[in-house]
Chain A
């Protein structure tokens, strides 16, 4: 194995090993809670970016999370399914609805598509509030059971009574999501999405059915939002329509843009940093929004590519300085 391959393999495995052993050193349940929420946000931000690779900005993610959360809770509590069966079904439910809604939505371009997805979040929220028989109305559903225990004699005993078990589940969800999203993005389908983003008319002219691909991108992204929703509802044990308002859609969007949309790692970085901001701010809670707004403005005015573009930006600035120095010296 040559050196390059070795380094590449290490850069994958070392972080994963570190993440795996975190709960052995950090026992504080609240810290684990923050890490779990980071994982939830990473999945949401990355799947939103996936949709954005096809040139579409969706503000409908909150609605998709809601669908996943309710589907899973209802399947487990009303139909007696195991959490492990309900989880993929929740993702598929979100995907299905995204698919159906997608066809009329993709007839709209640009900002209009975004507005319609925002409206859609509102529709889902209102449905949750009014369809009492199904969703429990405004109060939502409480006392959602934990995931069924995984017991492999001698190897694993995850009863999901401790935060550490949920941490591992969240970690698995994150890794699976990122691997799948990366795989699709690097594939031919991913290339097609990019071509649609760059120029829809041009793609059409070479025979790409842009509508179909846009709906596909939208549906796949929403699938992962649905999965995330299912995890969320069984972790927190309560869901209500108000938890999934347009503010959530907007936060996920912010994680994506602040982290940086051009690179795959952007949303991951954005989600990690912005989940931490509320935790680290010590001042009066009422003024926290000002800090948040400040970060947003800083990014869009000075660091348009997001936090991940910082190294590149800095190196460009440094190179320019060096070159100028050399020029004036010689």
Chain B
């Protein structure tokens, strides 16, 4: 008897709390309309292992929003809007990502979201955002149809991804290491891996290279000696990986220690400083990554400006910050070009834009042929090479995304 009345008490208390929270949120929502803010959602891993990338991505978005607001915000049909960000932690798994997306859509009532690093989480969240007609600007992907296709009309992706880095990085190999004929691949174990391998293999064979094979490794791997012992036994001339920065550092270090001296490429845009630091200066050589060295004098004026802003506020800066500026900025430019806050209208405008300002130069939208939908960003990307512990900016490349 006593315990059940206690339960009743707790339940009523809870309902009271929830009703209270509900009314509070309800009031808050109405005041927003008068202030004319445009609320944009941000989804990133802020805690947990992926936060080493998630935090920089979230921070650069905040800086970009402040920068845009500092320039007068955006103007739609004569009405000025100030951008306000609603930031949610997507953590590590598909259920926490779905919860974060649900919170953004149903609690914060956003219509535009920048977010999701992991392609797996992006695919899991897609049903939620697509059904709610919320535009998503993805931070990363591998290039497989499950991430972005005609079935996801509200999803866009600005940064270049491994599938589209690959052809350029292969051409670079042929040009710079002409004696390299046999290549092998070492990818992180992700669902897009077989698809990515197929595309990269095609591109490699078209250039006359011989692809020895593919090895997959779990993302939790720390010790690469066992796997590399196996991979190096087939004596490849070059190795292509997909790897997060610390994994790339580990692969580079172990491969060099085991006696491999050929070039190693990362198809994922990992920060070159991190890779170099983990591998150690002595062993960081002939390693090429499709990410900018933010300290290089060859950076565009805008990237230099962004780097300064980040250093000012966060006392550190690398490509994990700088690389994501455009994911947010392009979405805002699309909203402004459409002169409309309705996601369907913004989507229609965005996919037609063929001259968009980017931190790395000028870009446009592409992908109608290769992805089925013109929602892929085509913009210059930087490639950095590590030589004897030093970073050298190789150049600016433009992907071909028909």
Contact = CB atoms under 8 A, between A and B. Distances in A.
Task: Tell me whether A and B are bound partners.
Answer: yes
B22 A12 contact: no
B124 A18 contact: no
Interface stretch (A81-89, A184-192, A218-226, A278-286): A278-286
B21 A143 contact: no
A265 B106 CA distance: 31
A288 B123 CA distance: 28
A265 B95 CA distance: 27
A286 B52 CA distance: 12
A8 interface: yes
Provide the main secondary structure of the chain A interface. helix
Contact of B46 (A129, A142, A286, A311): A286
Interface stretch (B4-12, B30-38, B255-263): B4-12
Interface string B120-162: 1001101110000000000000000000000000000000000
Interface in B1-31: 1, 3-8, 10-12, 14-15, 17-19, 21-22, 25-26
Interface in A1-19: 7-8, 11-12, 14-15, 18-19
Interface in A193-238: 232, 236-238
B14 A276 contact: yes
A138 interface: yes
Given A142-B123, A242-B93, A265 B191 contact: no
B98 interface: yes
A148 to B, nearest CB: 18
B103 A30 contact: yes
B229 interface: no
B190 interface: yes
Nearest to B87: A285
A174 B6 CA distance: 17
Contacts of A289: 47
A182 B99 CA distance: 31
Contacts of A286: 46-47
A95 B10 CA distance: 31
Nearest to A35: B18
Contacts of A268: 7, 10
A236 B4 contact: no
B46 A276 contact: no
A45 interface: no
B14 to A, nearest CB: 5
A30 B25 CA distance: 11
A213 B278 CA distance: 53
Interface in A270-309: 272, 276, 279-280, 285-286, 288-289, 308
Given A129-B218, A240-B120, 8 more contacts: A15-B8, A31-B18, A31-B22, A136-B191, A137-B191, A138-B191, A236-B98, A264-B3
Interface of A: 7-8, 11-12, 14-15, 18-19, 22, 25-26, 28-31, 33-35, 38, 129, 136-140, 142-143, 232, 236-240, 242-243, 263-265, 268-269, 272, 276, 279-280, 285-286, 288-289, 308, 311
